[in-house]
Structures are given as structure tokens and as C-alpha cells.
Structure 1
């Protein structure tokens, strides 16, 4: 692997093919006038084809996506790649340094897209990241995790009305797929506005590395690359069938106290099931919270200190349980 180069523009055509190329991509500058650079790894195949983008740690404390990228680079055979794989992580370098979700100006970077050429630091960063990196992509997989005080299942946010996007979501090997049109100011939404099929993969919990989620995510991205004819298909064992949700919402407390959440992530609950119990500081039960509808737990609170308005569970409305993601070759030849 070649040593890192410092660039202020991503010119994919000038990069050598057949090997990973490491880059520091300049985006903005800090108060000392030093460049704030995002680490980027580019792998160009010997044959032309799509540009597939993978980003991680848009929130600086969401780390599970980094080893996904590292292992993808280690295991990919660049000589068999058709097209270009572009991976950027951590995107939020200041947040990564501080073990923090937010950008240097204390704003949530994933609510700033498509950004502006002027304005707050996060607006400018988002605008330039789109211009210097994301606009090159034909596909985007944006890797996230839960925030502090919460845990997530392995789930995908995707606009399931768009066939190319829906196919990426199914191949990601998630536990849950949440139909979620990208109408917000996220990186995924900005990519969709550029007609780039894009999904968000939520890989478990913040500030930890979780092999149980990293491995299927890596396999899923490898399957996506095969599906768009960037890599040859290979033998993989079928994944578990994902649950499809048409919508979801967080359930919140209406009182304060110590919160005990009952169901685990990826657990199904029926309408009326006990979701959580809340006690005051003397140990007396002050509230019990029940499921307002039947669904599946996409995420849950892990913080027992819950004031009024604290999150309890992220509850998905189940549409269907989909067939398991297909193996890339007939199952009789598949292996783990």
C-alpha cells in the first residue's frame, strides 16, 4: 500500500490502479490555519466501472464502520475489481479526536447536508465534502451506530421505493430494514438528491468495536459490490431473514426516574407488552410503559437516568419478514 498523499481534490483518473491508495483529503482549516483532512482510501480496478463509496464516523464516536473499511481493503483483490472503491473514515475527524458525536462547532454534521459554501463550520464542511468526495460516487453506503446512552440492532435506513437502493438494503445483511425516505438533511439524503442510490447502515453501539455486527456488514458490502458487477460472485452462506418496517418512532417517558428497559434490540413485542418500568430515587415504581402497537425493537435506551422526555425504545412497525439475503452462488457450495 502506498504512503498517504495530501490532496484538496479527488481526481480518481490520475490514481494508479491495482492497489489501495491512501490520501489525506483537505476539506476545511482549523483556527491555526492548518488543514482539516479526512483519511480516504481508493482502490481502482484495472477495468472501468462504477464508483462505490463507503463512509463512516460522520458522528465521531460511531466506530464500528472503521474496521469494516479496514478489512474490506485488506481482503479485496484489486486485480479483480471493476470500477473504483472509495472509502472515507473517520469523516468527522474533530469528533473522532474527542470521542464526541458532534463536529468542531458542536453541531450534528449529519443534519447539515448539503451544506453551504459559507456559514457555520459544519455547513462549509458538509458542502465541500459533497463537492470534493461524494459527487464522484455512483453508490453510497454510510456507516453509523447508535448515540451514547443507546444501543442499536444492525439495521438499515433506506428508501425501499427505489429499486437500486432497496437492493443494496437487502444485501447489507441487516436484522431490520427501515423504510425511510431521505427527506432529512443527512449525508444519505444529499446523495439521493444527486441521484446516488444510498443507504445508512446502523451498526450497533457507539465508541465500541463489535465483531458480531462488523462481520455481517463487511459480508454485505462485499455482496453489494458483486451485485453491481464490481467483483466476481463467490460462495457465502445465506444471512438471516431481515424484518422490514414501514415506519418507526421513539417511545418517550412522561415522568422522571431510574429507567429499566425490558425488551432487547431486535426483539418483537406485542401491543400492550411492558416496555419499561421507572422508579423514583426511593425505589418506588412511578411509571410503567407499554407498547402502543406491535412491532420490533430497533434501538433502546441504555441510560437508566431518565428525566421526563427520555427515550425508551425505537419501535418499528413491521411490514414483513423478507426472504434471507441470497447467497452469491447456489447454497450447496456456500460456506461461512
Structure 2
């Protein structure tokens, strides 16, 4: 899941009820924080500017160089530091490792690359997962799609990278553990398109992958996610329906919710980096973290195979799509935040339709007394819920997908 980035939220009153009229105060406080941080970042911008210039030169050179083999093998698979799928033999499946960022010991983080290279030319589709280390259903979805492909029968290429954030996956946690300036946890889905000369390992890793592996081999890209540890989401897609080429793909998934989020709101997530490079892209969300959800996985495998058929990469009739479904489209998410500590009891389920003032959850203390009640300030559908029963103040309990009609106000991006 794409974490919770709040542009403005409704705070809760002393009784725990969510009061939307307080959103303006929250927005003012956030703007004050941003202004304070901006002055502190001025000197860092000088360093970043020089690094960006070096990165642009390196990326250009790599794009012209094509595939670069390091000469190493891992478990019998060749290692590359740059890849051009046009260099690979057609009609075959290729298993490689990509050499990512260097570690403090001088080794590298490697990511697995599976390429199904069709016997005939055609579109190139890139499928990514594992940007967050606790998102298992997204990885399994991509693996299942790849296992269904027969390169001999394909026109075009499908490339899959299922372990983008390797250090996070090693401990099945959301963020990349970074040691560059003391222990830190970095959300890699706020680092794209990255910088090969950046100040953190995660940023450099993103730059290497985007410049040398992902962008050069993509005509279309899909970046798969799930909810995050402690917070599950429904089956939905994040994509700009105002882009016809994206909307056409979103309609090919048999899921009932779409978050229509403009690229400008969160420019540093992976699918938006693809959009900036002129590559149609979107992000599916597939249930809870740390587990496999077979029912949801099936929906997204079917939708992704539909996308491949839509682009002429594989043949065959379309599977289930959104046609005939009552798809709920919203452009914002309303977060209901805990105002007390205690055990949370949900009164609604994922995908439930809710109305303003409707009670969504209650919270009890250690004596079983109700210490807070939580209501919705908007009309919409439940798109996410806290799955951990215990909560402290400030934790998101529910996110309601809704359509806002003004440019300010609530704006939450569930990644």
C-alpha cells in the first residue's frame, strides 16, 4: 500500500468524532512544516543538483550501450548492470539478475528479472512488485501472470521484477533499512525515478533500476502493491482515468473501485515516474500485507492477462472485465484517525457504502469501556481498514474513497 500521505485531514474532537471543519487548521500546520523544511533543504539542493547532472549523463550513456553483462552468475543466472530486451533471443524465457546498489561491504543488492520474449515483435510491458517488502500478494500476482505466458506464442515482451526493494523483503517490512547516516527506514515508493548519485542507498537503487532496467524496456508499466502491515485494503486500482490509454487498461480489471489520483499529487511513486517518462502506467492494490489472498490475486491475474491481450501480446478471448460492474470511482480518500488507545471494533467492511455521520468504528479501553466512536464526514465507499485490532492515537482506522469537488481539503494516497 502507498502509505498515508495527507494533504489535509479532518481532526477528531475530544469525544473521538471526526469533525471535517477542522481540516483547514491541519492544512495550515502542514504548510508551516513544509516551509520550515524547505529552508533547511536549500544546501542539500546544491548537492542534489550536481548529482542530477551526473545521473542524466550516465543514464543517456547506458541507454545507448544496451545490455551489459557483469560476467558474474548467481545460481546459474547471468548478472546484468543494464538490460535491453531487444538483445535477448526471441521465443524464449530469460532469467537474469540485475546488479543494484552497492552495500557498505562492497557487495550489491541484486533483483530478479524474468523476461518472456515473444517469437514475434510487439509491445513491451513491464510488471513490478516488491517495492514495499511486506506486499506478498502483489509478488504472487506477477509470478502467476509470468507462469501463464508462452514466449513461442507471444508477440512482444513481458518483463517482471518482483523484488525491487530487496533489503525490505529480507525482513518482510515495508521500508528499506538504510545505514548511510545512522539507521533509517526509507519508503522506496517515494524515491522514483531515483538518482544514481543520490544521498541514500534506496534513492541510488531506484535510479539504477529506472535508468538501466525499467524505463528502457517499457511501452506500458504496471506496479503492483497491497495494503501495508496493520492496514488492509480492498481490491482496487490507482490510475488517472483522464488518460485514455490508462483508462482503457483500468476497465479491463474485474474490480469494483478506482482511485483516480492525478500524477501531480504524488510525483515520486513508481507508476508516476513511468508517466513522466511518457509510459502509460497504473498501480493495482491487492488486499492485505504479509499474506496471500487467492481470491484477490485471481482478479488481478485475470485483469493483467486482459491487458496483455489488449496490447496484442497474447491471443485469446478476454476474461472478466469491469463491464457490467458498478465500479465506484473516487479522487480522494478520507482518513479516520484514532484519537485514543485501545481495541478497535469495525462496524463496516471493505467496499461498504457509507454516508456522512455514519458510525464506522468504536474503540474500547482495557476495562471494556467505549472511549471513542468514529464516524465518516463524507459519502463514499470503504477502501481501507486497520487490520491490527489494537491502536494508538494517530493511527488510520478507516479510509473512505470519495469524490471531492474542491481543490483543497482531504487528499490521501493509499499506496
Matched, 1:288 2:368: no
Moved more, 93-102 or 110-119: 110-119
Q: Structure 2: which 5+ residue stretches go unaligned?
A: 1-74, 179-184, 405-415
Q: How far off its partner does 1:182 sit?
A: 2.1
Matched, 1:94 2:167: yes
2:246 to 156, 162, 165: 165
2:213 aligns with 133
Task: Name the SS for the 1:171 alignment partner.
Answer: coil
2:85 aligns with 12
Task: Name the SS for the 1:32 alignment partner.
Answer: coil
2:138 to 61, 65, 85: 65
Deviations 1:79-122 (A, max 9, x none): 22111101001111111111111113120000111222221111
Deviations 1:161-187 (A, max 9, x none): 111111122213222111011231111
1:112 aligns with 191
Change (3 A) 1:201 1:14: same
2:12 aligns with none
Moved more, 17-26 or 235-244: 235-244
Q: If you compute each CA radius of gyration, which structure gives the higher value, 1 or 2?
A: 2
User: How does 1:1-336 map onto structure 2 within 5 Å?
Assistant: 4-105=77-178, 106-116=185-195, 117-136=197-216, 137-183=218-264, 184=266, 185-238=268-321, 240-317=325-402
CA distance in 1, matches of 2:395, 2:143: 36
Q: How far off its partner does 1:252 sit?
A: 1.0
Is contact 1:243-1:318 (8 Å) kept? no
Q: Structure 1: which 5+ residue stretches go unaligned?
A: 320-336
What's the Cα RMSD here?
Answer: 1.7
CA distance in 2, matches of 1:235, 1:172: 10
Change (3 A) 1:235 1:112: closer
CA distance in 1, matches of 2:211, 2:308: 24
Is contact 1:152-1:300 (8 Å) kept? yes
Structure scoring higher RCO (CA < 8 A, sep ≥ 6) equals: 2
CA distance in 1, matches of 2:100, 2:137: 23
Is contact 1:270-1:293 (8 Å) kept? yes
Moved more, 61-70 or 206-215: 61-70
CA distance in 1, matches of 2:280, 2:251: 13
CA distance in 1, matches of 2:102, 2:255: 37
Change (3 A) 1:81 1:120: same
TM superposition score normalised by structure 2: 0.74
1:330 aligns with none
Q: How far off its partner does 1:318 sit?
A: 5.5
Q: How far off its partner does 1:237 sit?
A: 4.1
Q: How far off its partner does 1:138 sit?
A: 1.0
User: Quick check: which one's strand share is greater?
Assistant: 1
Moved more, 27-36 or 230-239: 230-239
CA distance in 1, matches of 2:77, 2:251: 34
Q: How many residues align?
A: 318
